[in-house]
Amino acid sequence: MSETQEKIIIIDDEKRMCDSLAALLRGEGYEVKSFQQSPEAVDVIRKEKVDLVITDIKMPQMDGLEILEAVKEIDNGIPVILMTGYASLDTAVEAVSKGAYDYLLKPVEFTYLELAVRRALDKRRAELARLRLLEELKLSNLILQRRVGELNALYEAGKSIGSSANLGELLRQLVVLASTVTEAKTGSVMLLDERKEYLSIEAAIGLDREVVKKTRLPIGASIAGYVAKTGEAIIVDDVESDERFRRINSERYQTTSLLCTPLRIKNNILGVINMSDKENNQKFTSDDLRLLTTFASQAAVAVDDAYQFEKSRRRLIEFQILHEISVELPNIDSWTDFGKVLIDKLSRLFSVEYAILFLWHRDMKRLIPDGVVGKTAIPLTDSGKIDLRKIDRTSISLANIDLSEIDFEDIPELTLMLNEKIVGNENFPAPHQAYMAVPIMKKGELANIFYLGSKQDKAYSDDDISLARLIVSQATLLFEKEKAILNATRLVTMGNMISEISHDLRKPLTSIKGGLQVIKQRLPESINGSEFFKMVEDEIHRMNELVRELVDFSNPNKYETEKVDLQQLVNRASELVGPDLRKQNVQLVSSFESINWEVIVNKNQILEMFLNLFINAIAAMPEGGILNVEGQVERPESKDKDYKVIKVIDTGIGIKKENLPRIFERYYTTKKTGTGLGLSVVERIISAHGWFFRVESTEGKGTTFKIYLPID
């Protein structure tokens, strides 16, 4: 038996039921134990690892609800499926309130049971995985805390050089100590960036602040760049006469003699220490160089320790942030609130003053702001400020950019491209130093971009970018999983409500339909040929169909297919919305190319799809208009073959750009009385048939829905 085999407990006082269910589930690869005595089963559940319990409600010793309570006391994560041949709403409600995963009626169809078992075990696996992840996070936190403690101990041992655990403070101490031992009036500590491409001044004495802020030397350039590249400590007696470096640094140091030595630990060069302007205008000596080199070798250890400490501290904060975000997620309802939480957390690592979430609309090739977080107007320089209120209403077109040349996962490249589109326009009138565009990828494709920025003088470091990307991507993943769980919970709740309401609606509809038949039999002369009576019958039929579709929505497992002509379904949908078309003064025009439009589909669901699209189109034309339905063959963008396409085109009010990416979200609606389920049902039906769709809309001119299906 495989160690990964999942264990299922079956409890039923009927031996035949136990044996048949056990045989069927064993055939699906599960480990199954069946019991006719409920206390014996509960005892096994208490002692062994169990992944799922399936029990009858009517049991002689402990009934199914008592078994359910016992299982939840043992392990609340074990899903329980209840079976009964005596269904009642009260029993079902009580079962759900006590934590039952599903409620099945006898005789149980194995197809439904198999699906319920698979979904219950999926939930069990997800819960176990979540618990394992939490344990791993706790362990990682302990390991990181231990590492921070070790680095603290190492740093305490290096207190002879500096007493601060802060890297910046340590570097300031280093430059002061170095100037003391060499009797220099001017000096600096320069560190290499993570990519070893350039040097920047991290601490200085005797230098102008603007020089410190703006200096950025490529590796190999100037004296400091040469030392960082070669690892060779040098003394320059006269910059004017030295052929290697003549006057290169004159504007910075205004001196003739200087020292430069690498900060090196083993074979890794961290940066350099520069000293110039020896007191009393004397020249530096070889002893000065030796002292500085000895000091630098000790300082490099302290710098490396402090640097590693800082990285570990930031790493620990990163895990703490992710943990805090995961705790706060259940209380976050929108991307804007999510952005506020992210800014608050990331600000503990580096300066972040605003964030803009852009949704990537692939078909429109536009980035659409979906949330702006920060101050309403953030000053950047004396000449301008960021007006976040304007940005929130401004989408960015990438239509003229060859997207195949853009690596969306390359943050520097993506940032440069996006910044060219943002900085300098009326909303971003002045460039600033610190900004980054963090991509959020789904299935290898760009989905969203978080644009983070600050008015600080210094650009974000590679370490800042790396941390931001990790935290944003992981936090976004957690947020979307939380939203998915919430949506699933809402859908289950709505499905249960729909199922009950639909059941209650069927009885009065049946009575009305029967009454109409009686009237038709008793008054045939008055009824025959009556357009009004036919309309009433059609509407009763339509209401029956809607009730059936509601039942199907609450029970998506019911899926039967047959070969139908899509043109006939379009005509049928047109007939059903006929009264709405006439009422709204909308003309429906249908045209199909002369090809075979017969497909194997679920007829009722495709009809429902057309009805939803037609009803939405009619609602979008309150002043009347034309609804075109066209069947054609065309090759969609980004595809290498032709497809059949059905276009539903209206001349209505259109869809706002900022709303377009969200129209297929469940519960999202701009209508005062809408449920937000219409287009989500359309998307579900299209996806279930292996088709795909595109949406184009211009506000004030109309919308086009394109449904693509393969050519046989």
Pairing of strands 258-265, 268-278: antiparallel
Rounded CA separation 501/346 (Å): 47
Pairing of strands 586-592, 625-634: parallel
pLDDT given at position 630: 92
How many other CB atoms sit within 10 Å of the CB of residue 409? 12
Side chain identity at residue 188, one-letter code: S
* CATH tag for 332-460 (out of 1.20.1260.10, 3.40.50.300, 2.60.40.10, 3.30.450.40): 3.30.450.40
Q: DSSP character for 363? A: T
Report domain extents, the chain. 7-125, 167-309, 332-460, 559-710
Say which CATH architecture domain 559-710 belongs to.
Answer: 2-Layer Sandwich (3.30)
Say which CATH architecture domain 7-125 belongs to.
Answer: 3-Layer(aba) Sandwich (3.40)
**Cα 682 to Cα 6, 337, 391, 538, 614, distances in angstroms:** 36, 29, 32, 23, 11
pLDDT given at position 155: 43
User: Sheet harboring 31-35: ordered strands across?
Assistant: 31-35, 7-11, 52-56, 80-84, 102-105
Q: Which of the pair, 541 or 72, is modelled with greater confidence?
A: 72
pLDDT given at position 391: 54
pLDDT given at position 164: 52
Helix then strand count (H, E) for the chain reads: 20, 25
Q: Which of 112-126, 382-396, 509-523 has the lowest mean pLDDT?
A: 382-396
CATH class of 167-309: alpha beta
pLDDT per residue as tens digits for the range 458-469: 777 777 777 777
Confidence of residue 88 (pLDDT cuts 50, 70, 90): confident
Rounded CA separation 672/254 (Å): 72
Q: Convert 357-378 to b/e letters by CB count within 10 Å (16 or more is b).
A: bbbbbeebebbbbbbbbbeeeb
Residue percentage of the chain with pLDDT more than 70: 73
Tokens describing residue 476: 């976004």
Q: DSSP character for 639? A: -
pLDDT per residue as tens digits for the range 594-629: 888 998 888 888 888 888 888 888 888 888 899 999
Q: pTM of the predicted model, to two decimals?
A: 0.39
Element of type H or E holding 399? none
pLDDT per residue as tens digits for the range 340-369: 777 777 777 777 877 777 777 766 677 777
Q: 449 CB contacts (<8 Å, ≥6 apart)? A: 357, 358, 360, 367, 414, 418, 437, 438, 439, 440
φ and ψ at residue 513, rounded to 5 degrees = -60, -40
Element of type H or E holding 586? strand 586-592
- Asked if pLDDT for residue 160 goes beyond 80, the answer is no
pLDDT per residue as tens digits for the range 438-450: 887 776 677 778 8
Range with top average pLDDT, 364-373, 420-429, 659-668: 364-373
Q: 514 CB contacts (<8 Å, ≥6 apart)? A: none
**Cα 675 to Cα 402, 560, 584, 609, 621, distances in angstroms:** 39, 26, 21, 16, 19
- Asked if pLDDT for residue 394 goes beyond 70, the answer is no
Per-chain mean pLDDT for the chain: 76
> What is the mean pLDDT of the segment spanning 515-525?
73
Tokens describing residue 578: 């006929």
Within this chain, domains 167-309 and 332-460 share the same CATH topology: yes
Range list of H helices, 203-348: 209-214, 222-230, 250-253, 286-328, 335-346
450 - beta bridge partners? 357, 438
Q: Looking up tokens 């460039």, which residue turns up? A: 431
> What is the mean pLDDT of the segment spanning 525-546?
71
pLDDT per residue as tens digits for the range 321-331: 777 777 776 77
Q: Which of the pair, 652 or 301, is modelled with greater confidence?
A: 652
